[in-house]
Amino acid sequence: MRRNLNVPAFRAAGIICIIAAGLLLDQKLEFGGQIITNIAVWLIFIGVLWYASRAEQISLVACVFYATLGEIFLSLAWGLYEYRLGNIPLFVPPGHALLFMLGTALAPRLSDRLAWAVPLLAAPFVILLSATGSDTFGAPLFALLLLCMAFGSARKLYATMFMLALVMEIYGTWLGNWAWSPHVPWLGLTTLNPPLAAGAFYCVLDLLVTATNAALARRRATPAIGVAGQP
């Protein structure tokens, strides 16, 4: 029993070290560091995937798939942010999945009261930044977080990912791995580098992964129908 209780803590510490070291290596060793980080993160992700349960494997693969599409749209198409080399580093999609694993490991430790404390504490800053024009993009992102927490089924995870994403964004932009555009294309809004409510994107990621799991579960539960209408 003691060993099982220690596994999530060990996994969480490992993911934190991987993300922190990978971003530092990518920045300090220029292009060579990105290649090393790409290989290392993918090897670690494949190892995690190999030992994961069937349900976890589906969630992780779906997470990487949607994270890849999201990066292509948000960075290359929309232009919300740009990576140091103008590309999408190959370690980013599996990195999102690892961060999501960290969130799922930490979320159960959060009480419902503490989960709601996260948006309550963030709200004054979102309002102030929006009122001063420093981050008007933060208001719709924060509204998305509130909607997910109010009507979603994983409010503890949403609150946890909101905090984790903010820490990762501050760390990554501080190192210079990526930078957010001060002006949001298409919408005429402003944002910070990084935006305070960037974690709201992880709410969408969770909804997509959850919807995929539910669709696959319904498909497995549906019996095959023969030619004559018999199973």
**pLDDT number for residue 197:** 92
Angle (CA) 4-5-11 rounded to 5° is 85
Structure-token match 């029993």, residue found: 1
- Is 228 a domain residue? no
pTM, rounded to two decimals: 0.87
**pLDDT number for residue 226:** 47
**pLDDT number for residue 51:** 87
**How does DSSP assign 187-219, residue by residue?**
TTEE--SS-TTTTHHHHHHHHHHHHHHHHHHHH
Residue among 203, 213, 199, 165 nearest 62 (CA): 213
What domain range is 140 assigned to?
A: 2-216
Host H or E run for residue 171? helix 155-175
- Is 15 a domain residue? yes
Residue among 46, 36, 40, 35 nearest 18 (CA): 40
- Is 223 a domain residue? no
**pLDDT number for residue 126:** 95
- 8 A C-beta contact, residue 194 and residue 178: no
**pLDDT number for residue 224:** 52
Q: What is the pLDDT of residues 18-74, one digit of tens each?
A: 999 999 999 888 778 899 999 999 999 999 899 888 888 999 999 999 999 999 999
Structural domains in the chain (count): 1
Residue ranges in the chain whose pLDDT is less than 70: 1-8, 223-231
**pLDDT number for residue 104:** 87
- Is 71 a domain residue? yes
**pLDDT number for residue 105:** 87
CA dihedral 114, 66, 189, 148 (to 10 degrees): -30
**pLDDT number for residue 14:** 85
- Is 49 a domain residue? yes
